[in-house]
Amino acid sequence: MAISYAVRERAYAGVPRRGPVTRLLEDERWLGALLLLPTAFLLALFIAYPFVKGVLLSVTDARVGVPGTFVGLQNFIALAHDSIFREATFLYTAVTTVFKLALGLWLALLLNRHFPGKALTRAFVLLPFIIPTVLSTFAWKWMFDPTFSVINWTLYKLAIIDSRINWLGDPQLAMISIIIVNVWRGVPFYAISLLAGLQTISPELQEAAAIDGARPWQRFWHVTWPLLLPVTMVVVLFSVIQTFADFQLVYVLTGGGPANATHLFATYAYQIGVGTGLLSEGAAVSLAMFPALLVVVIVQLLYIRRVEIH
């Protein structure tokens, strides 16, 4: 570094009257820092500040309109005894991720083939992902409506059921319902991302394997899958973070009900913090997501670094 600095100094030796600011900016370290400033400012404003504010709130007894006093970890201790929010988020994330991956991969493999209308089909597949979640979830809400469910109506007319299925009113079915909608919404993201990954795999590898006598399943398992794995990992980890912190879908469909059976971290934090106005408790609930997400992020970063090195 010192040498390059010296060289540059000499190259500019003939230029007269350089002010201290110009000199400072010619130093890459300062210029770099300066160019990073806007990003750093945005990150601080929109990510660091809310996060720090959340942490500060969670260790007080603040309520709406009342700043509150420091209470240490009391809110977190109370949460540890809270029966409402424990399993649902993990179950929701785990189940939806498995389904989204399996269906998304399947869809990606299908879309990777040549068939007429390929471009149009690919565009249509993205629809659930493109429509604003709140809108599409409202449509689902009507389909699952306790009284007017079109799904129930169809099944009833087809003589498959003889009484209504209580989609959103039964705790287990409500969980299944939100899982169905999340999978429906998430599959296109998986499919398109994995399709992009599939297209980077050279067809020659497949052809070589085929010539060697590999069956389709063997070709997938020994050629496609290992090559697709880096993309898959990134997609899965990204999706896990998204799903874990999901809010709008559950908020619209069940509001966390029936009797709190489908509350995720985010919806529960919203009900406590924003609905009831117990800001500190709400902040504590949303921060409870943090350790789990941190693990996911660390795994993701480590993995990406490993891929980069290789």
Partner 1 sequence: MARFTRRNFLKLSGGGAVAAKTGGMAAILASGRAPAFAQSSAVHWLRWVDFVPASDEVMRKEIVPECQKALGMTLKFETINANDIQARTTAAIQSGSGPDVICGVNNWPQLYAESVVDVSDLAEEIGKAQEGFYTVSRAVASDGKKWIGVPWCIVGAQIAYRKSWFEEIGLNKFPETWEEYRDAGKKLKAKGRPIGQTLGHTFGDAPTYAYPYLWSWGGKEVEADGKTVVLDSKATVDSVKFMTGFWKDAHDEGGFAWDDTNNNRAFLSGTISSTLNGASIYIEAKRKPDAYQTEKGTPLWQDILHAPLPKGIAGQYSYHLPMSNMLMGYSKNQQAAKEFLRWITSKDVFQIWFNSQQGYTIGATTVWEKDPVWGKDPVMLPYRSAARNARFAGFAGPPDRKAAEVLSKYIIIDMYAKAAQGMPAEEAVKWAHEEVKKIHT
By CB under 8 A, the count of residues binding partner 1 is: 35
DSSP 8-state class, residue 44 = I
Q: Which is nearer to partner 1, 7 or 159 (CB)?
A: 159
The three-class DSSP label of residue 66 is strand
The helix/strand/coil state of 190 is helix
| Residue 61 binds partner 1, judged by CB under 8 A | no
| Residue 258 touching partner 1 (CB under 8 A) | yes
Choice from 260, 280, 284, 286 touching partner 1 (CB under 8 A) = 260
CB of 164 to partner 1, least distance (A): 7
| Neighbouring residues of 169: CB distance < 8 A, sequence distance ≥ 6 | 146, 258
- Rounded to 5 degrees, φ, ψ at 63 are -120, 175
Interface with partner 1 (CB under 8 A), residue from 129, 233, 275, 300: 275
Whichever of 30 and 138 has its CB closer to partner 1, that residue is 138
Q: Give the angle subtended at the CA of 149 by the CAs of 143 and 154, to the nearest 5°.
A: 100
Query: Segment near partner 1 (CB under 8 A), from 17-25, 127-135, 193-201, 255-263?
Result: 255-263
For partner 1, the closer CB: 175 or 236: 175
Q: 199 - beta bridge partners? A: none
SS3 content of the chain, % helix, strand, coil (to 5): 75, 0, 25
Q: Does 171 bind partner 1 (CB under 8 A)?
A: yes
Of 278, 283, 284, 289, the one binding partner 1 (CB under 8 A) is 278
Distance CA 112, CA 123 (A): 13
Residue 136 CB-half CA count within 13 A: 16
CB closer to partner 1 out of 39 and 83: 83
How far is residue 124 CA from its own chain's centroid?
A: 22
Among 60, 256, 280, 287, binds partner 1 (CB under 8 A): 256
User: Token digits for 60?
Assistant: 């007080």
Site string for partner 1, 80-119 (x = CB under 8 A): ---x------------------------------------
Which chain residues interact with partner 1 by CB under 8 A? 63-66, 78, 83, 145-148, 164, 166-171, 174, 254-260, 270-279
